[in-house]
Structure 1
Amino acid sequence: MTQIDIQEILDIIKDDLSWFQPKNSPEKLQGGLLNYVWRVNGEPKPIIIKYFPPYIATVPEVFLDDRRMLIEARALQAFQTGGIFSTLNTNKIRPPQIYYADEVRKFLVMEDVADKNSLKVNYNWVLADSSGQEAGKLIGNFIGNLHDLSFSRTDLAEGFENFSIQKTRLDLQYRAIAPLLKDEEIEDYQILGDKVSQLGEKYLQKGKNVIMGDLWPTSIIPVADGLRIIDWELAHYGYPAQDLAHFAAHLWMKRERAQTKDEAEELDRMLDSFLDSYVCALGSHRQDILNSQEIIDCSLHFAAEILVRTIGNFKAGYLYDGLAFNSSPIQKAVRTAVNHLRFPDNVTTFSSLVS
């Protein structure tokens, strides 16, 4: 198992970050799933150090290509001043700034955009002061502009090639669906599972535009003046559905687990605002980006994400953790997912994306 000495990192970066003066020892943050992350308090402001091991940090026996660090570095650099995506940054929404990248030792140093000692961010930030609708608008506009700006850019396809990560997702998520549905005694489990496996295989190929790749509320950090989007290591040149349906699936699950009617309704408004703002941001490329197959793929990925989070490998530590498989919330989630798999072009979840 690869290890890294955080003090060694500080020694490596001290010359390149001569403007930064550490005040105390690095603080290892809790809540990260894939990587090891530290906050270093100092002047003029704290920094984040993120190390990318060649495995999943919380499941060390599972290999995960550490070249994902290069993808995150490339994405963050693209948003820096003068970068290809720099025009998408606003005070209200942007990724963190990158300060240093070590391609050999696989770590990044970046802006600290959070004010907590944990990487876990309460989903309820989207509900503060009824801000869910505004947050949805910000995120939808940002992702729509990203997809639009990078559409059909073959020069970006090579730089954001992330085959190994997509292969891992195929193995851990898309190919897991048929066995999960079989365990749930879904009669057409193989047909439905094949649909999702074929989607995962499609996602191994070069797609249409740059995809953030891990768009869920945990990757969106609230700050005083807006939002910051972190964790770009799963970015790739892929298909819009993987961003759109991923975010939609997590908002749906949170809505289903909401404690009050007001929370549920605010999450519904957030999803509606996200999808509507996304469409508005696409401009002249809308018809090419959101063709009928893309809408179908949204339904398939939406279903796959719900299933792995409710009855699959990624249930632990999440919204449905601790619930019995025959419990009402999980059975509703399974029914919803199966409906999206059986009738992907006849559900209303993504109807606002249709011209």
Structure 2
Amino acid sequence: METAEAVEKYFQTNKNLPFKSRLVSANLLTGGLVNFVHRLRFEDGSTAVLKSYPPFIAFYRTISLSQNRYFVEKTALEALSSQPWLNKNPNSIIRTPKVLFSDDESFVLIMEDAGDKCETLFNLLASDVQLDDNFIELIPKEVKIFVNYLSKESGLTPNGNQIFVKVWQIVEEYFSQLWSNMTQKLQLEKEMELYLEKSKEIFKYKDSMNGVFVMGDLWPNSILIDQENKFIWIVDWEAARFETSTRDMEQLLANLWLMKQSPKFNKDKIESLIKHFQLEFFNSKDIDWRKGCGDFAKYNFILWIVGLLNESHWDLDNKRDTALKAFSEIADF
């Protein structure tokens, strides 16, 4: 469901939709890299978000991707729909979208809208955008509480939630295809290719049955900030799974590391944010998060950095040099 016209037709022909108010518009949101995401506006002024899951990556149509990710996100959001972490942390400002409608045949999910006052952390860290300094400290504190809830208190375990165990197959399939594209575009040197091969070993050591529940795709584009109403929304749950407890934080910090290499983003704010994350998760602003997480994080770091270099939205002038820098920093550990 790529276009507004397709969404409107879906509403006209689907008699099972629970919305009483007439659909007025459907606007494609720019954050959708993997799926097609539209903001719906209804005649009564209410809004919702429609997400459709094609059998490929929206941003890279040549890379196929299992539509089972729809069921993963649906299951995760339904499990979190009552916002149970608020029982122990009533002052938490973290929110996740509630599922309003699901269509298992068409792979369509309609969910609560965080609102058009929200902006992704990715965009808020751009060099010409203002991000309230209070959020630099607030985001790591809130994310830590939420991540700890997911891994320790959510009650989601591998034995009772096989849908999340199977996500590893989707992730591995995605990376194997990304690898082919990436090595052709970046023309990686031999020593870099060897390290990449070593990084692939993380798939051999995956241990879903002994892992903890993680969001699975925590990066600055899946964190929405509502500075006016003081809320942080965590969206895009189609990679939720069981893995190491530091997984979400590792991926987020790997993305922040890459962002600060680009003149597009505010390096000072990003470095401050990284330090606050290190303070929350390792009790020190000065410890390097990669060292604190161990070998698994190092391999993941290379995996993510070089994989992300295959994407165009980072505005990096020389992707090869950035990749080499990532390798050299890891080699120092």
What is the TM-score of this pair, normalised by structure 2? 0.80
Corresponding residue number in structure 2 for 1:286: none
Mapped to 2, the partners of 1:275 and 1:156 lie a distance apart of: 33
Corresponding residue number in structure 2 for 1:334: 324
Whether the 8 Å contact between 1:156 and 1:210 is mirrored in structure 2 is no
- Does 1:249 pair with 2:249? no
Q: 1:87 to 1:29 in 2, by over 3 A?
A: same
Unaligned runs of 5+ in 2: 284-288
1:53 partner letter: P
1:108 partner letter: L
Mapped to 2, the partners of 1:185 and 1:163 lie a distance apart of: 28
Corresponding residue number in structure 2 for 1:141: 145
Please give the residue correspondences for 1:79-158 in structure 2 after superposition, counting only pairs within 5 Å: 79-81=80-82, 92-115=93-116, 122-124=123-125, 128-130=131-133, 131-150=135-154, 153-158=157-162
Mapped to 2, the partners of 1:259 and 1:185 lie a distance apart of: 27
Mapped to 1, the partners of 2:96 and 2:138 lie a distance apart of: 18
CA shift at 1:113, angstroms? 0.9
120-129 vs 244-253, which moves further: 120-129
Mapped to 2, the partners of 1:272 and 1:35 lie a distance apart of: 32
Q: 1:36 to 1:175 in 2, by over 3 A?
A: closer
Whether the 8 Å contact between 1:174 and 1:196 is mirrored in structure 2 is no
CA shift at 1:309, angstroms? 2.5
Corresponding residue number in structure 1 for 2:313: 317
CA shift at 1:339, angstroms? 3.4
Unaligned runs of 5+ in 1: 281-289, 347-355
Q: 1:188 to 1:99 in 2, by over 3 A?
A: closer
Mapped to 2, the partners of 1:61 and 1:194 lie a distance apart of: 23
Whether the 8 Å contact between 1:254 and 1:319 is mirrored in structure 2 is no
- Equivalent residue of 2:242, what SS? strand
Whether the 8 Å contact between 1:140 and 1:276 is mirrored in structure 2 is no
Aligned pair partner of 1:238 in 225, 237, 243: 243
Q: 1:55 to 1:137 in 2, by over 3 A?
A: same
Whether the 8 Å contact between 1:151 and 1:209 is mirrored in structure 2 is no
- Equivalent residue of 1:63, what SS? coil
CA shift at 1:267, angstroms? 1.8
Mapped to 2, the partners of 1:279 and 1:17 lie a distance apart of: 46
CA shift at 1:33, angstroms? 1.3
- Alpha-carbon deviations, 1:117-175, whole Å to 9, x = none? 99895142796121222212222321232122258823344131213312224414578
Mapped to 1, the partners of 2:230 and 2:153 lie a distance apart of: 25
Mapped to 2, the partners of 1:76 and 1:128 lie a distance apart of: 28
Aligned Cα RMSD in Å? 3.7
Mapped to 2, the partners of 1:75 and 1:214 lie a distance apart of: 13
Mapped to 2, the partners of 1:8 and 1:181 lie a distance apart of: 38
CA shift at 1:317, angstroms? 2.3
Mapped to 2, the partners of 1:138 and 1:70 lie a distance apart of: 27
Q: 1:240 to 1:171 in 2, by over 3 A?
A: farther
Corresponding residue number in structure 1 for 2:213: 210
Please give the residue correspondences for 1:1-355 in structure 2 after superposition, counting only pairs within 5 Å: 5-11=6-12, 15-18=16-19, 20-42=20-42, 43=44, 45-81=46-82, 92-115=93-116, 122-124=123-125, 128-130=131-133, 131-150=135-154, 153-161=157-165, 162-172=167-177, 179=183, 183-187=187-191, 189-190=193-194, 192-203=195-206, 205-223=208-226, 224-258=229-263, 263-278=266-281, 295-310=294-309, 313-314=310-311, 316-320=312-316, 323-325=317-319, 331-340=321-330, 342=331, 346=333
- Equivalent residue of 2:149, what SS? helix
- Equivalent residue of 2:24, what SS? coil
- Equivalent residue of 1:215, what SS? coil
Q: 1:8 to 1:199 in 2, by over 3 A?
A: same
- Equivalent residue of 1:26, what SS? strand
CA shift at 1:252, angstroms? 1.2
Whether the 8 Å contact between 1:245 and 1:299 is mirrored in structure 2 is no
2:244 partner letter: Y
CA shift at 1:216, angstroms? 0.7
121-130 vs 60-69, which moves further: 121-130
Mapped to 2, the partners of 1:68 and 1:119 lie a distance apart of: 22
1:339 partner letter: E
2:313 partner letter: G
Corresponding residue number in structure 2 for 1:349: none
Give aligned-pair identity as a percent. 20
Q: 1:247 to 1:117 in 2, by over 3 A?
A: closer
- Alpha-carbon deviations, 1:40-99, whole Å to 9, x = none? 112352011111111112322321101100000011111112879986786511211111
1:138 partner letter: E
